[in-house]
Each structure stands twice: as C-alpha cells, then as structure tokens.
Structure 1
C-alpha cells in the first residue's frame, strides 16, 4: 500500500475540520483529487491543496497510512469516525480527535484538545502529550462515552476523563482532572499520577486503576474484596505491553481493593497498586 503525507504550508488563523482526512478513503484518490478536497473552516472553507503540500510514497505497510506533518490545535476532528488504516500526526491536534473511531490506529505526537476519543468504539488512539477535558467521554446529552478500543494518554488528562464510559481501556501516564471515571458503567481506566476531586463519582461498574493512593478516598466506597487474584493476573498480562507503570505491575502483588459507588448501588472497584 501507500503512505500519503500532508505537510502544513502555513498554519491558518482559523480552525479546520479534518474529519474527511482519513487513510483508507485518501489511499484511493490521486494527489490531485486530494488537493481539491474542500475542508470546512467555521464559516469559511479551504481546499486541502491550499493548506497542505501533498505527497505519496509506496510502502510495504499492512494497510493504508496517512501522515499529517506540522499540525496544530487549530486542526479539529482528526481521525473522527476512522475505521481502519494508520494515521500519524506530527504536532498537536484540536478537539474531537478520534471521535467515534471504530478501527485502525491514530497516533498524535503532541497534545490533543477536548473530547479526545469521545464515544470511541474501537481501534487504538495514542497521545504522547496531554489531552483536554472529556477524553473517552460522552457528548452533552448522550448516554454512553467510550464503548471500545484503547486510548493511551502519556501526559495529563483534563476533567471528566471517561465520563459514562461503557467498555474499553483508557490509560493515563500523568494526572487526571476532576470527576475522572465519573458515572463509569464498565471498562478499565488507569491513572498513573494524581486524580482530581470527585473521582469515581456515580461509578456503577468497571475498574479504576490507581498507581498511587489518593487522599481522601470517597466515602461511598468500602474496603474489602478477596478472590480476585485470577482477574488481577489476567489484567496484568493484558497491560504488559502498555505504558509504565502499568506494564511493570506483577500478578503476585495484589492491589488494595475498594468497592462502590454505594450511593448508586455501584458494583465498581478502585484498585490501588502503588
């Protein structure tokens, strides 16, 4: 297959909707056709060729690939509804990166804005920097956040991380803001750094992994729980190739377990492995 590269000529002074810039459909177009694609930009529009220098290299990759070089926070909806291929971004992205993504891999070599991986359903999304609010969460008025796939944020995450998340894996290498894993329905959320206030608020099911014991612990969670050593061994095995410290946890070092949120008859759990 081939690798298509979009290299930013001059950063615009307005926001761009990049949702049509996906590796699979672009692989089927010629360079000239790609340059003629019109991108929404608020009340304006601009052609791809006006913003990017487009090139293509033949490769032996397993699938179509797209590289966006020189991106900035003005580029919204990168990888939105992506269903396959590989998309690599050199630079930061704006809001809604990986929104409702169902497949493929999206790698942001920089920071990402708000709603990163929002309502994500599959695939793998990696952010090497920080992410804004509502990562892996739900849009306002929607009942479900992330329902599948893997979201890895190497830096810090903003408020409302994994709000209403129902399935999938979210790992944060740094800190998370207020209401992390709030209203969690299912899935696994791991935070290596500190967590903001009201974490695990309204948690019904699912697992919140913490590398460090927070202070204070929610009053609606209770200590206890035995016989989860098999679950822990399987979880540790699945994290073996993820970011540290999650990849360094051992099956023979059981975490401290808390169950809740009892205020909503929750059957979730907080596991503190540090």
Structure 2
C-alpha cells in the first residue's frame, strides 16, 4: 500500500516559507511527529512544519511498491510557500491551491501537480518528471537561474493558463506546453526542446533562438524579421511529434499528422536552425 501524507495549512506565518524539504519520499520515511518538528527556512527566520500545517498520514510503507506511488498532498496552499517540489526525484506531490516561486526547481523525477497558480521560476532548470500548473504561471518558467547558462534540460511542463515573461529562456531539452498566452521573450535564446503556446505571444518571442521548435496554435500578428519561410519536407518529424502530443492538453492533443503547419526557420541572426511551426 502506498503512503499518503497530507499537510493542511492551518496558519499563515506572515512571511515566505521555503518548502523544499516537503517531498513525498523523504516524508514517507518519517513519522508524523518527526514531520511536525521539521524546520523550514523562511528568509532570515525559520519555522517548524507543525506550526504551519495540520499533518496526517494514511497507508503504510511497502518496500516492494513503486516509489512513484508515494503521495504527498498540500492542502490550502498559498503563494507564500516557495520551492515546492524543488529537486524532487520521485513520488507524487499534489498542491491544492496556489504555490509560490521556484516550484519544481531542478526537479529530476516524479509528478508535481498544482491546482492553482504558480509563481516565478517554476520548473527552473527542470531535468525530468512532469509538472502541471492548472492556473497561471509567473516569469522565467522553465528558464535558467541567475548566472547559469542552461534552463530546462528534461521533463514536461504543462501550464493550462497563461505564462509570464521569458518562458523557457535558455531551455535545452524537454517539453513545455501553455494553454493560454505567453509574455515577452518567450523561447528566447532557446538551445533545443519543444515549446507550444496556444494563445498569443508577447514581444520579442524566439529572440536569439539557436535550435528547437516553437509550436503556435494561432498565427502571431508579426513574425520575427530574422525568421524565413521554411518550406516543407518535415512530414516524418511532424507525424512523430503529433503522436507524442496526443496525451497532452488541447489544442496540441488534437493536432493530426495530416495537417502540416507552416514552417519558419531562424533565428538567422545567431544560428538559424530553430523553427516556428504555425497551425493557423
């Protein structure tokens, strides 16, 4: 039987809390009393989990069970809870409510599901696993930390609402899908990977794009001047891509291999091997 640990927010501490220690597998190995005494950093202050959460446990650990069956639920979550799921490697973490900044930062495995909105730097430098945001997301999602050269390098990030500025900046690998709009500089300095945006884009999208694919469900008002008509001849790639998107969010899941998009290649100002695929 899998272990389900539930943390229900009972008191807002009045400052931001670093929730990186609240991960499914480590908490499953602890007793409820041990979790209550767990110290959580909070800027220049700190608090213990028992002061912030009501903690409960159901199920028992099974050493033969799949580690991804280990579940952590954070209920009544709010935007002052930062770094939820940071460096997560396994298990399933469900956030009932909104989350703060740096959620899923450097995540390498497991599943992180946020019912509400997420803050800035969500999935920053993500390396694996799956992160779903049912609401909106802040700036620098799937991007790089300050001073680093690589953003997201693996895994899947799905944002059902809108994304902020600098979406997937310096992304090198993985899949990012946005069901709404994206802010300025989306897919900027993209090295590789696939990004899909169902809505509209802000200014300077695909700026400095070296390689990778930007999927657009709607034709943008203006195409970047450093992109050129890319022609056809990518039927096999498109067939494989649409097959991989079949289980993802609409409209990407509804795309079919027979309906080829219009292709544009660029950014010719840097390398020119990236592409923008426009469905309409």
Q: TM-score range by the shorter chain?
A: over 0.9
Q: Is 2:46 aligned against 1:45?
A: yes
Q: Is 2:120 aligned against 1:114?
A: yes
Within a 5 Å distance, the mapping from 1:52-71 to structure 2 comes to: 52-58=53-59, 62=66, 63-71=69-77
- Equivalent residue of 2:110, what SS? strand
- Verify the 8 A CA contact 2:88 2:108 in the aligned structure 1: yes
Partner of 1:100: 106
How much has 1:39 moved relative to structure 2?
A: 0.4
- CA deviations over 1:228-256 (Å, ceiling 9, x no partner): 01100100000001000000011100000
Partner of 1:23: 24
- Verify the 8 A CA contact 2:19 2:40 in the aligned structure 1: yes
Q: Is 2:249 aligned against 1:248?
A: no
Q: Is 2:188 aligned against 1:182?
A: yes
- Verify the 8 A CA contact 2:265 2:276 in the aligned structure 1: yes
- Verify the 8 A CA contact 2:231 2:263 in the aligned structure 1: yes
Residue 217 of structure 1, aligned match among 215, 223, 241:
223
Q: Is 2:147 aligned against 1:141?
A: yes
Of 7-16 and 236-245, deviating more is 7-16
Q: Provide the rounded CA distance (Å) in 1 between the counterparts of 2:56 and 2:230.
A: 58
How much has 1:211 moved relative to structure 2?
A: 0.3
Q: Is 2:158 aligned against 1:152?
A: yes
Normalised by the size of structure 1, how large is the TM-score?
A: 0.98
- Equivalent residue of 2:215, what SS? strand
- Verify the 8 A CA contact 1:202 1:266 in the aligned structure 2: no
Within a 5 Å distance, the mapping from 1:186-265 to structure 2 comes to: 186-265=192-271
- Verify the 8 A CA contact 2:151 2:172 in the aligned structure 1: yes
Instruction: Structure 2 unaligned segments of length 5 or more: list them.
Output: none
4+ aligned runs moved over 4 Å, structure 1: 59-62
- Equivalent residue of 1:103, what SS? coil
How much has 1:200 moved relative to structure 2?
A: 0.2
Q: What value does the CA root-mean-square deviation take over the aligned residues?
A: 1.0
- Verify the 8 A CA contact 1:200 1:261 in the aligned structure 2: yes
Q: Provide the rounded CA distance (Å) in 1 between the counterparts of 2:128 and 2:230.
A: 33
- CA deviations over 1:139-165 (Å, ceiling 9, x no partner): 111000000000000000000000000
Figure out how many residues of one structure are paired with residues of the other and give that number.
274
Q: Provide the rounded CA distance (Å) in 1 between the counterparts of 2:71 and 2:37.
A: 19
Instruction: Structure 1 unaligned segments of length 5 or more: list them.
Output: none
How much has 1:273 moved relative to structure 2?
A: 1.1
Normalised by the size of structure 2, how large is the TM-score?
A: 0.96
Q: Provide the rounded CA distance (Å) in 2 between the counterparts of 1:240 and 1:133.
A: 27
- Verify the 8 A CA contact 2:11 2:51 in the aligned structure 1: no
- CA deviations over 1:50-81 (Å, ceiling 9, x no partner): 10000011179842110000110000000000
Q: Provide the rounded CA distance (Å) in 2 between the counterparts of 1:126 and 1:77.
A: 15
- Equivalent residue of 1:149, what SS? strand
